[in-house]
Every structure is written in structure tokens, then in C-alpha cells.
Structure 1
Amino acid sequence: MDWILLRGLTREQGHWGDFPRRLQAAFPDQRFHAVDLPGTGVHFRESSPDTITGIREAVRRQVRHIPKPFSILALSMGGMVALDWAQHAPEGEIQNLVLINTSSGFSPFWHRLRPGIWPRLLRLLTRRELFYRERDLLRLTSNRQVPLELVKQWYRIQRQRPVSTRNAIRQLTAAASYRPGRKRPLPDALLLASLGDRLVHWKCSSVLEQRWQWTLRVHHDAGHDLVIDEPDWILRQLEAWLVR
């Protein structure tokens, strides 16, 4: 089974860190592909669509070579892309769906992005001092002590493959305007959320659980970037869910 990994707002495959390696070690019979959204990573020179549907279509074109069916694990805005994809995919194309700290138009806007975060996030994404911008983004999305080496790693990513201010704003627009359809795309999906998420309220995942009777697991104190804060917890939840 092949898995597609999608990151969130202005983030790229490099921001997964060693998580794909951990996934591969935990599930050696499966294959994991970190895919960049348009305007980020290897596609940083491209213009990002300003709708989730447009981003989803661009990502689908990138993975035409991956055999179907495949599964998707996605974080934050990547989860919106994955959900939109699942609702529009031919039957049987997507086998498993794992959404981490994502949100949708089913939730009120003050849950989708907590009050006061919009101006701060916009300032951070458009800040010119790259090192301090990446440091402050990490401090906002992680509830753990941020290692200096991780800040340096994210700074190097941004220096090598910079996300333009225009693309950051277009991605923000896409995320803010996303409204999924009413159709339940899969009988079950795994929803992972964090009580300590300071960007997106964990109830955004709970809304999806209640609407479609999906599986929800909530971490008690991790931040928005669960991949950084609690990668082993994610692996345990994924392993337990896949053997259901």
C-alpha cells in the first residue's frame, strides 16, 4: 500500500523531519510519499491556487504515477486537501484517510482559527527575518521546547525553497474559504487532534467525528504540529486503527 503525506499551510516535505522514516520503520511493508503542495517545496516557484479544490487538483496531477488504491495522511491544511480529495475521488481510489488537527467549514470560524491568531499568523508568514519567523512559527505550532537545531533546519528549508508572501496569502485564502460537501467520503477515517492546539480547536475534528461517525483520538497536551510534539503517539494510534 502506498501512502501520500500532505503538510499544512506554507509547509513542505522537508518539514516532516524524520517522521516518514519513522512511518517506514513502523510499517515496513508500506510505501510513503511526501508530496508538496503547489507553491511550496520543489514547486515553490509555482503559483498556489487560492482554493482547496485547485490545490487538490494540482496534487492529484503530481501523484498520477502512484498505483491505486492509496492512503492519505495529512496535517492541518493538508487535511482539507485530503478531505476534498476523498469526497471527489472515484470509488476505491483512497483506502485509508488520516487527518491531523484539520478543520472545515462545518465548524465556526472561531474554532477553525482561534481568535487573535489570524493577524499574528499573517504577520509571521510575511515576516522578512527568516530565522526568527521560523522560530516563532515553531513556538506557535509546538507545545514542546523547540531545539535550536530544528529552528536552523526550518530556516535552511525556507532559504532554499522560499514560500512567497503571495502564495502564503493564497493558501490562507484557500483554507479560510474551504467548505466540504455533505457526502461522507469513507465509512471510517482516523482523526487525530490536540487539546493543546493553539491554532485550531480540537472540536473541529470532533465535528467530523460526530457528522460521519469516524474515529477520533485526542492528545491531552500536544500542540498543533502533532508530528513534532508526539510522533510516537501518532504511530501508536495509526497502528491500532489500521488493525481494526
Structure 2
Amino acid sequence: MSKIKILYDVFKTLKDKESFNGDVKIEAIMNDKKVFDLSNEFSTNKETGLTKAKVSTEVDYEDNRLKHESTTEFNLKDHVHQHGGHGMWMHGNHHGCANGGNLKNKLSHVTFALGVLNNIKQEEDGDKTLLSLDLKEIIHEAKEMHPALHDRSCEEMKENKSPHHAIVKKLMEMEANDATLKVWINKSNEVEKVEILANGNKNVTVENQCSASFKLLLKLAL
């Protein structure tokens, strides 16, 4: 079966689902020390937008140590911008007609997306289909496509004094040595697990090098 057919069936299955339940785990390690750990058990009703989440966070970065647990309930529909889709579409079209540079930028995004699709690898893993993608070059290309966005994000993180923002800023500044995305899909076209692994480093000085690794694991209850 082709990658496009697999992705089509997966997104069709996601569209038809009434709810999503699962858990997300995120872990960041710097210089062999765990600095960030997050666990989020969630459930979302797609029709009503009602979402429940139980979040546990641990931070141990520089002089900041934090442990926090919370249970929250909210509605996703309350967090959607009223004019998000239509406004952005009209805004893009308006400038696209008058600005050739914008058209070139849009074509670059299309080329980027097609490149991502082309680079997805497909294999069988037991009774599951495994889709994998090397993210190293994709991260590099994304930074080249949006240098201002990357720089602005780093500056915003710098201005925010919270430790987890400092960790995210440090990770964004890393040069990726290795980064992979893996998605496991069952015979019913349901995503069972998503895993992102990345590691990189940054030369602070000639003698001082910061290394970091990042792991995200999403498991969905079926």
C-alpha cells in the first residue's frame, strides 16, 4: 500500500472518531542530566470540544527546581480564534496577488511538504505499519525558511523568565545531530503510538560544549 493511501486512511479514521484518549510524555536531558519531564493524560470529545487533562511536570534546570501536578477541564472550542481560518486565508490571498515574493514563499512551502512526504519510509513492524521520517534535514530547512520566526521565538523565550521556557530556548538553539519521527499504525488505520527522538549540541565556547536530547512519546487509547 502506498504512503499516500496509508496517510489518507489514517486521517479519515481520525476524522470519524468521536473522541481521543491517551497520554503524552516529554523528556529533555542536558549534559546527561534530566532537566524536564512532563506527563499528560488527556481525553477530548471531538464533537463537544470538552477536554480533560491530568498534567505532571518536573523541572530541574540551573537553580530552578519545580514539581507541579494539576487536573484541568476546558473546551477546545473556546480556544479557537473566531476568524482564524478565513482571516488567514484572505490575508494570504490578498498579499499573494500583489507580491510575487509571497508566491515564491508559498511554492517553497509546497516543495517542502512534498519533500517531507517523499522522505517518509514505510515498513512492517509485526502486525503494525511503521512510518518513519528523518527530521534532521527538515529542521535545518525549516530554520532556513523561517529564520526570523526562529530568532523571534528565541528572543521571546529569553524575555520569559520561567525555567521551562529557558529549556525550550536552549533546545531551539541546538544543532541537531540526529532526529527521527516514528508513527505506528494498526490494521484498523488507527495511530497507536508516535515517537520523536532528537539529540544535538551547541558549542558555547571552545572548551565548553552543551549536549542535549529530547524525547516525546504519544500513546493513544483505542
Same-fold call, TM cutoff 0.5: no
For normalisation by structure 2, the TM-score amounts to 0.28
Query: Over alpha carbons, which structure has the higher Rg?
Result: 2
More strand by share: 2
For normalisation by structure 1, the TM-score amounts to 0.26
